[in-house]
Amino acid sequence: MTSSAHPLLIVGSIAFDDLDMPTGNFRDVLGGAATYSSIAASLLAPGAVRIVGIVGTDFPDAHLADLKARGIDTAGVERAQGRTFRWHGRYSQDLASRESLDTQLNVFADFSPKIPAAYCGSPFVLLGNIHPKLQVDVLEQVQKPRLVVADTMNFWIEREPKALAQMLSRIDLLVINDEEARQLSGIHNLVRAAADIRKRGPSMLIVKRGEFGALLFDDAGTFFVPAYPLEDVVDPTGAGDSFAGGLLGYLAATGEVTPGNLRKALYFASSLGSFCVEGIGPSRLLALGRSDVAARIAAFAKLVDHGGQLALPG
Ligand code: AMP
């Protein structure tokens, strides 16, 4: 597939998920942060996505072939002796919360990302939620990307504060949820928490708030994007990763890293996140065409269009 998009390197987990949902149990579902992000990004930046991760001998070639068929470069997916990373999650009846029942790192335990030489010049880099030391290792291997975006989670915030601080000092944009922002900063108020986190390195911060949308904090100010209101939410797994993939996919496709374009990218991020939750695992994302994305973006534009200036009456 040809594309004018700028190469986008995505590093992170590739997994099998067991999902206990109110509607039933689903086993061996294709998962992992890098998987969701890559699929979402490939819808906006076809031919530009390069995925780096690790799988075991149990990972079917057919899954990699599916990613390749979408124009995702899988040459950076390492196959190691042993089993693929497995995660087992159980959701509450209202899908508002989930607990991790089991996490088996398997081959992911010894993952040390090796960035293929052909990927080292990627101008856009998305560091999925892995050990912050490994995120820094990736940055040691790439040459001056235009935009480095990272995700992290409570586990690393609690256990690896030093490595996390190092990672933060080397990235441009951090994408985390509200709970993580509060935990990382030790500040409850999100505006104050954002200011604190931005002092630690990333000049830009996105705080995701699930069904309540997301906030961007950067030098141009604060910006809000809603979550698209859906009648049926099926499975929130991977929504955050799809959000990040949509964001980076849009930026890589347009090649413009400006406050204005970042604000547009947030609508694509939120759209891809909203599609993700409409199916079990990545099933809905995998069934999408570009026209579906265009239709949701149009619906989004309508959602936030109030018809002109908001002037004080009288
Ligand atoms: P999200 O719902 O956006 O938090 O992403 C869920 C995905 O992250 C699932 O597909 C899991 O396989 C993967 N995952 C769960 N725990 C971890 C972990 N500790 N490290 C990396 N990936 C994980």
What are the distances in angstroms from CA 198 to CA 47, 145, 191, 218, 274? 32, 19, 11, 8, 27
Residue minimizing CA distance to atom 14 of ligand 1: 32
Q: Residue 244, class by beta-carbon neighbours within 10 Å (0-12 exposed, 13-18 middle, 19+ buried)?
A: buried
Residue 294, H or E segment = helix 290-304
* Ligand 1 centroid from CA 106, angstroms: 14
Q: Is 239 in the pocket of ligand 1 (CB under 6 A)?
A: yes
Measured distance CA(266)–CA(55) in Å, rounded: 30
Q: Is 240 in the pocket of ligand 1 (CB under 6 A)?
A: yes
| Residue pair 51/67 in contact by the 8 Å Cβ criterion | yes
CA 299 vs. chain centroid, Å, equals 22
Residue minimizing CA distance to atom 6 of ligand 1: 238
Q: Which ligand 1 atom is at minimum distance from the Cα of 29? A: 10
Q: Is 237 in the pocket of ligand 1 (CB under 6 A)?
A: yes
Which residues in the chain land under pLDDT 70?
1-3
Residues 141-176 have pLDDT tens digits of: 999 999 999 999 999 999 999 999 999 999 999 999
In a mutational test of the pocket of ligand 1, which residue from 20, 54, 85, 180 has the highest number of ligand atoms less than 8 Å from its CB? 85
Measured distance CA(102)–CA(65) in Å, rounded: 28
Helix (H, G, I), strand (E, B) or coil at 244: helix
Given strand 173-177, what is the order of strands in its sheet?
73-79, 49-55, 8-11, 124-127, 147-150, 173-177, 204-208, 214-218, 221-225
* Strand positions, DSSP E, 22-178: 24-31, 49-55, 73-79, 85-91, 98-104, 124-127, 147-150, 173-177
Q: At what angle do helices 190-199 and 178-185 cross, to 10 degrees?
A: 60
Measured distance CA(150)–CA(166) in Å, rounded: 12
The whole-number pLDDT of residue 3 equals 64
Within 10 angstroms of residue 304's Cβ, the number of other Cβ atoms is 10
Within 10 angstroms of residue 264's Cβ, the number of other Cβ atoms is 16
Encoding tokens for residue 121? 């010049």
| Residue pair 172/204 in contact by the 8 Å Cβ criterion | yes
Q: Is 238 in the pocket of ligand 1 (CB under 6 A)?
A: yes
The residue length of the chain stands at 314
Q: Is 33 in the pocket of ligand 1 (CB under 6 A)?
A: yes
Quick one: how many helices (H) and strands (E) in the chain? 11, 13
* Ligand 1 centroid from CA 33, angstroms: 5
Helix (H, G, I), strand (E, B) or coil at 259: helix
Q: Which amino acid is at 242?
A: S
Measured distance CA(207)–CA(302) in Å, rounded: 23
| Residue pair 64/268 in contact by the 8 Å Cβ criterion | no
Residue minimizing CA distance to atom 16 of ligand 1: 87
Residue 222, H or E segment = strand 221-225
The whole-number pLDDT of residue 2 equals 43
The whole-number pLDDT of residue 1 equals 41
Encoding tokens for residue 285? 């994302």
pTM for this prediction = 0.96
| Residue pair 90/99 in contact by the 8 Å Cβ criterion | yes
Q: Is 106 in the pocket of ligand 1 (CB under 6 A)?
A: no
Q: Which ligand 1 atom is at minimum distance from the Cα of 241? A: 3
The whole-number pLDDT of residue 190 equals 98
Q: Is 31 in the pocket of ligand 1 (CB under 6 A)?
A: yes
